[in-house]
């Protein structure tokens, strides 16, 4: 991996046991594609949460690749709900544990992909946040429905090409920008909202730990590249994730009680938006020969600029 | 297009092409295996034809948008599979009640619940009939070949426009993804039916007028006609009613517009029925398997024929009664634990023995399974 910045962040420390393969709570040997950002993200989240955690997972890649019959990669109580309702199932788990007096020292995590969270699952998510359950919701945002073959979702970025937002003579790809889901979550007056990325694993794990130390509903949105859907080499996952942050397109921040309390500054490491776009096939049409995409590129630069201004990233 | 309009395509592609030929101009949908190709193809093709594709946030929104688009005047459709079809049920009931034409394609996969997303099944046969609550009479078509995916897609639009009712087209995972040779008809070969529109002046208009055909002209938004739509049981003006006589009239209207026209709605195919003692009844992809099985059995001198309902709801009852006239045994083959067999048993009464060949392990039936049943019976 190229050195992208002067950050002092280090990779998670290797642990001391003899068999490092089985020490992760999301065990190795599952069927994710090579370079899968979501698999890495889930592994880090689970490791940060620890073994005393109940997990409800919505339908999606994560559920499919982690549980091919008769195996399961989950070394903790885990349930696959439906597509739209992991937050509601987790609400039931939490209420039940409280009723039984078994809610001490356990974490409850509900999770799903961007489609299962921002589109079909937003109703159940909103209900969970509003009712004040002591649950951490983690959204793994790979910016499209990857499990069904890369269709756009509410979190697909502007101008990205997917199979239901194709680029061509009549279209530059996805016509809308990402839904601001962290802001929607924060609007429920919940104590903790954060964005994170697999590009910065320590930051992600610290945020999960912090979230779990707070009582009440919490929301973390993790940006996870998908080599298959974004069309980039699978050894570039971390680099692409970092570029998303360094271009200002994916701001990394924390909100406590509705107020932004911490942002990851990009400062002088800031990169032009094109650098992030060019490495991904889903934006290739913007750089194709003869494509007059300057106007579109400018719009994307404006999105980055707006993020930088809003969160004071520079 | 190639010579003679012959193409090699998937069932899902053929279904989308048929919809385009029928003049679909709105698709609201949500990705779900194994139906997604229909959405993907229409996402690409609809804008080119002046139509509109919207990927909705879930299946509830998809069918709701389809209803809205249809009331606004567009031929509208959606495509889904089991879990999505379940989510659509409440809205489908609304469409039956408000008599809104639309087409819902269900590319079936195994269930219940998430079930078998990539495996074949015919287990939504009964859900297509009884999925939403209340009394209603759905039109459900079942395609068995890629050519039929195209043709029935056109027919589904025609029936929905004619009877002002949702029409459900059942495909399945194998058919949706199977590639076959099909012939795309020329534009002038495709006969299209458009919904009937009011001819009376706006002040005389009743959106659910009681007519001899039980089909009321549909004004659509923005045409100068005032109308009221509601999912509540309503009178001919569309306003909620609690009057027993009007409630009865409305429910009779929903029933009679279908039951009085079964001869027009119901179609079926048959093979070797003239001298058959055994009738194999199969629909959808299983009809193809059954066809092969029947041919093998006939080669071995079994007197066996095939009856394939193309419209499964309403069921072609008269035709089946005719087919069973000289038969001693009906064998129903389907990819579920036995759904349409109940309808066949009802029609056969006690005159003909009815037996089933069911497969529900996610795999397609083989002709041998049906042939073995025929041999057993003899």
Out of B44, B57, B113, closest to residue A120 by CB: B57
Best of A61, A163, A169, A179 to disrupt the B interface (most B CBs within 10 Å) is A163
**Residues of A in Cβ contact (< 8 Å) with B88:** none
Domain ranges for chain B, please list them. Answer: 3-189, 268-377
- Identify the CATH class of B268-377: alpha beta
**Residues of B in Cβ contact (< 8 Å) with A152:** 55
**Residues of B in Cβ contact (< 8 Å) with A88:** none
**Residues of B in Cβ contact (< 8 Å) with A163:** 36, 40, 43
Relative orientation angle of helices A37-49 and A237-246, to the nearest 10 degrees: 80
ipTM of this complex prediction, to 2 decimal places: 0.83
Distance CA A227, CA A236 (A): 8
Residue A17 has pLDDT above 70, yes or no: no
For residue B340, the SS3 value is helix
Residue A20 has pLDDT above 60, yes or no: no
Residue B309 has pLDDT above 90, yes or no: yes
**Residues of A in Cβ contact (< 8 Å) with B83:** 82-83
Contact yes or no for B214/B228 (Cβ under 8 A): no
Contact yes or no for B316/B266 (Cβ under 8 A): yes
Q: Does the distance separating the beta carbons of B43 and A119 come in below 8 Å?
A: no
Best of B13, B29, B31 to disrupt the A interface (most A CBs within 10 Å) is B31
Q: How far is B206 from chain A (nearest CA, A)?
A: 37
Quickly tell me which residue has 């023995």 as its tokens: B353
pTM equals 0.89
pLDDT digits (tens, 9 = 90+) for A84-120: 999 999 999 999 999 999 999 999 999 999 999 999 9
Could you tell me if B302 lies within 8 Å of chain A, comparing CB atoms?
no
**Which tokens hold the place of A124?**
């159940």
CATH 3.40.50.970 fits B3-189, yes or no: yes
Q: Which of residues 64-83 of A touch B (CB under 8 A)?
A: 80, 82-83
Full DSSP string of A126-181:
HHHHHHT-S-EEEEEE-SSBTTTT-B--TTPPTT--BTTB-EETTEES--SPPP-H
Contact yes or no for A138/A222 (Cβ under 8 A): yes
**Which tokens hold the place of B197?**
């529109």
**Residues of B in Cβ contact (< 8 Å) with A154:** 57
- DSSP bridge partners of A215: none
Average pLDDT for B183-191: 94
Instruction: Return the exposure string of A255-291: e unless at least 16 CB atoms fall within 10 Å of the residue's CB, then b.
Output: bbeeebeebbebeeebbebeebbebbebbebbeeeee
Distance CA B341, CA B280 (A): 11
| DSSP single-letter state for residue B223 | S
Q: How far is B55 from chain A (nearest CA, A)?
A: 7
Q: Does the distance separating the beta carbons of B114 and A164 come in below 8 Å?
A: no
Q: Does the distance separating the beta carbons of A154 and B57 come in below 8 Å?
A: yes
Q: What are the residues whose beta carbons fall under 8 Å from the beta carbon of A313, sequence distance 6 or more? A: A248, A251, A263, A264, A265, A266, A270, A307
Q: Does the distance separating the beta carbons of A82 and B114 come in below 8 Å?
A: yes
Average pLDDT for A5-20: 62
Out of A120, A168, A170, closest to residue B58 by CB: A120
Distance CA B59, CA B80 (A): 8
Domains and CATH numbers, chain A: 37-311 (3.40.50.970)
Percent of chain B with pLDDT over 90: 96
Domain B3-189 shares a fold with domain B268-377: yes
Best of B44, B51, B55, B56 to disrupt the A interface (most A CBs within 10 Å) is B55
Residue of B nearest to A168 (CA): B44
Look at residue B97 in the predicted model and tell me its pLDDT: 97
Average pLDDT for B44-51: 92
Could you tell me if A158 lies within 8 Å of chain B, comparing CB atoms?
no
Query: Average model confidence (pLDDT) for chain B?
Result: 95
Give φ, ψ of B147 to 5 degrees: -60, -40
Residue B290 has pLDDT above 80, yes or no: yes
pLDDT digits (tens, 9 = 90+) for B139-159: 999 999 999 999 999 999 999
């Amino acid at each position: 991996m190229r050195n992208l910045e002067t950050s002092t962040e280090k990779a998670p420390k290797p642990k001391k046991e003899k068999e490092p393969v089985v020490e992760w709570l999301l065990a190795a040997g599952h069927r994710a594609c090579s370079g899968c950002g979501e698999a890495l993200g889930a592994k880090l989240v689970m490791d940060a949460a620890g073994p005393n955690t109940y997990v409800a997972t919505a339908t999606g890649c994560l559920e499919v690749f982690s549980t091919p019959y008769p195996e399961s990669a989950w070394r903790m109580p885990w349930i696959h709900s439906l597509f739209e309702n992991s937050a509601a199932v987790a609400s039931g788990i939490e209420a039940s544990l409280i009723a039984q007096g078994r809610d001490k020292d356990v974490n409850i995590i509900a999770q799903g992909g961007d489609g299962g969270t921002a589109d079909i699952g937003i109703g159940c998510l909103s209900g969970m946040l509003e009712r004040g359950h002591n649950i951490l919701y983690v959204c793994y945002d790979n910016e499209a429905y990857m499990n069904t073959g890369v269709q756009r979702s509410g979190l697909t970025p502007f101008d990205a090409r997917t199979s239901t937002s194709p680029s061509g003579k009549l279209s530059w790809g996805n016509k809308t920008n990402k839904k601001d889901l962290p802001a929607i979550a924060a609007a429920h007056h919940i104590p903790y909202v954060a964005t994170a990325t697999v590009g910065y694993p320590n930051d992600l794990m610290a945020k999960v730990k912090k979230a779990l130390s707070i009582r009440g509903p919490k929301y973390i949105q993790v940006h996870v590249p998908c080599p298959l859907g974004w069309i980039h080499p699978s050894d570039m996952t971390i680099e692409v994730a970092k570029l998303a942050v360094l271009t200002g397109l994916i701001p990394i921040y924390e909100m406590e009680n509705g107020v932004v309390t911490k942002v990851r500054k990009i400062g002088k490491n800031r990169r032009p938006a094109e650098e992030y776009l060019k490495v991904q096939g889903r934006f290739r049409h913007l750089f194709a020969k003869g494509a007059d995409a300057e106007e579109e590129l400018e719009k994307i630069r404006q999105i980055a600029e707006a993020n930088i201004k809003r969160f004071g990233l520079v | 297009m190639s010579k003679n309009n012959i193409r090699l395509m998937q069932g899902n592609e053929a279904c989308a092409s048929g919809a385009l030929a029928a003049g679909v101009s709105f698709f609201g949908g949500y990705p779900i295996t194994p139906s997604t190709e229909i959405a993907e193809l229409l996402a690409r093709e609809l804008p080119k034809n002046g139509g509109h594709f919207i990927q909705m946030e879930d299946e509830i929104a998809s069918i709701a948008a389809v209803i809205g688009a249809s009331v606004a005047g567009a031929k509208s459709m959606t495509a889904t599979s089991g879990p999505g079809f379940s989510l659509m049920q409440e809205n489908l009931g609304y469409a039956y009640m408000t008599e809104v034409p639309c087409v819902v394609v269900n590319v079936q996969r195994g269930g219940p619940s998430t079930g078998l997303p990539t495996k074949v099944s015919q287990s939504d046969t009964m859900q297509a009939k009884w999925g939403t609550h209340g009394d209603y009479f759905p039109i459900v078509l079942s395609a068995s070949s890629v050519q039929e995916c195209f043709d029935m897609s056109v027919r589904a639009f025609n029936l929905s426009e004619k009877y002002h009712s949702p029409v459900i087209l059942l495909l399945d995972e194998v058919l949706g993804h199977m590639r076959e040779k099909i012939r795309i008809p020329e534009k002038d070969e495709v006969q299209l039916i458009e919904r009937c529109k009011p001819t009376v002046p706006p002040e005389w208009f009743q959106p659910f007028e009681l007519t001899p055909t039980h089909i009321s002209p549909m004004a659509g938004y923005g045409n100068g006609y005032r109308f009221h739509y509601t999912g509540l049981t309503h009178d001919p003006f569309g306003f909620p009613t609690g009057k027993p006589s009007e409630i009865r009239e409305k429910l009779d209207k929903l029933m009679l517009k279908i039951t009085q026209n079964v001869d027009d709605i119901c179609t079926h195919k048959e093979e070797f029925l003239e001298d058959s003692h055994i009738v194999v009844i199969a629909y959808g992809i299983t009809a193809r398997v059954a066809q092969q099985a029947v041919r093998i059995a006939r080669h071995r001198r079994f007197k066996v024929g095939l009856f394939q309902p193309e419209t499964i709801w309403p069921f072609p009852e008269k035709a089946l009664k005719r087919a069973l006239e000289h038969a001693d045994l009906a064998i129903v083959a389907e990819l579920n634990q036995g759904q349409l067999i109940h309808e066949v048993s009802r029609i056969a009464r006690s005159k003909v023995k009815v037996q089933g060949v069911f497969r529900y392990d996610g795999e397609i039936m083989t002709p041998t399974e049906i042939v073995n049943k025929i041999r057993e019976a003899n």
